[in-house]
Chains A and B, each alone.
Chain A
Amino acid sequence: MEYHLSTPLKKEDIEGLNAGDIVYISGKVLTARDEAHARILELKEEGKELPFSLEGAAIYHCGPLMQQTDGTWRVVAAGPTTSDRMSKMTPVLLENFNVRVLIGKGGMNNVADAMKEKCVYLAYTGGCAALASGSIKNVPAVHWLDLGMPEAVWELEVHEFGPLIVGIDTKGEDLFTSIKEKARSSFLKL
């Protein structure tokens, strides 16, 4: 099945998605990788407000390559980064914020339970940064640039961003884990 979603997202928008479905997203996505995740959790712990809203948000595991001309930021290349580096921080993130979509590559470990009835993981083809930049229309804001270009939180306005493959759905189905399990049993036969 193919779906076209718009942000901000409600729980109902993602409940029907099944692992293996294809999704395109329009609206706003926020990039966040290692350092941004750590800072989000740190501020939450200290009871401080974030400079952006994660309500119904789509988080993109991405450290984009940006270029600034005349004060305006533009995306040069913005493909997904390895999501697994955020695996440990993701359950706490989802406990505290109603993030509905995570976009990244390579899948995540031990997050399917935390994502149940809350959030989906969408896989974008790794390395396809030139392709991705075509569906990013605008860069409305950047936060935490002190973390460096790859680690900052970039607000990206996207149109029909995809194709994204549902890797983990809200029912706990995890495409990456089932493929890895099959690979493990093939390995034992080698």
Chain B
Amino acid sequence: MTIVMVTDMVTSMVTYKNVVEATIDIIREAETQLPDDVIDALKSATQNESSDVAISQIDAILKNIEIASNNNIPLCQDTGILIFYVEIGRELKLDIDLKGAILEASRIATQEVPLRPNAVHPITRSNSNDNTGDGIPDIKYDFVEGDQLKITVAPKGAGSENMSALKMMNPTELKDIRKFIFETVLNAGGRPCPPIIVGVGIGGSFDKAARLAKAALLRKVTDMNDEEKGILKDINSLGIGPMGLGGDTTALAVHLATSYCHTASLPVAINIQCWANRHASVVLGGDE
């Protein structure tokens, strides 16, 4: 028992090399293994489905998850662009090139996992071939309590990202937020690879709302309050179904996230996530 606890608590020191290696590991994990809560949600969806075509689609997804995990290959050929969330403990002494380490890990992972080279220049469309480029990967930094470094990677595919939406609503249009969510899901139809997970950012600013929506996708699928469950139920009543082929499972979860905003503003962002809600984390440091 003591040994297990000690093993659990031992973490690597925050060195450049350790950050590179740990980051490669979480990229591989995220690309090849889906978190258990998503798998469980898909499994329970098959129990509640009335459409045979829908069941065939979810069965194919579950089979795909198993093959990817067993063979250690990416779940989806769209290995996404890499989004990183870095939480830095404010007591941690950080004297390494953290961004450089994450970029290097992304390049190595592109070769080793492997990942599809997805990063292109927005205008010339020329491919950097290593999933890095100006502003890519997207790394978000935050300071937290403690003396550790937590890195989370969430590869984001384009199919679902392209179906996302943002609206600067009027503050008096609060009751139209639900309508905006339903319209966005309806417009997306089968294109974002349903069953989807819907992240909604309400408040903040133009960009903050989008960041809230994206970070909400990291929450556990089952972590929903009554309001979120109600919106989920209504989305599933649309009958779009897995892959837009009809059925009761259009979405697995709805996650709302809010932030204070300007008294004259009501920004609402909806970030759509495909069933492959890939993310993995690692914690370094805190052992000195």
Contacts and interface: CB of A to CB of B under 8 A. Distances in A.
8 contacts: A35-B125, A129-B75, A131-B60, A148-B117, A165-B53, A165-B245, A167-B245, A183-B239
B127 interface: yes
Contacts of B182: 187, 190
Nearest to A175: B245
Contacts of A123: 190, 243, 245
B75 A127 contact: yes
A176 B193 contact: no
Interface of B: 53, 56-57, 60-61, 63-64, 67-68, 71, 73-79, 114-118, 120, 125-127, 129, 157-159, 162, 182-183, 186, 189-193, 234, 237-246, 274-276
B190 A176 contact: yes
Nearest to A62: B77
A13 to B, nearest CB: 23
B191 A76 contact: no
Q: Is the interface of B mostly helix, strand, loop or mixed?
A: loop
Contacts of A77: 68, 73-77, 79, 116
A133 to B, nearest CB: 7
Given A133-B73, A187-B238, A128 B189 contact: no
Contacts of A22: 56
B245 A176 contact: yes
Contacts of B115: 65
Contacts of B126: 148
A130 B74 contact: yes
A105 interface: yes
A20 interface: yes
Interface in A75-91: 76-79, 81-82, 84
B77 A63 contact: yes
Contacts of A182: 239, 246
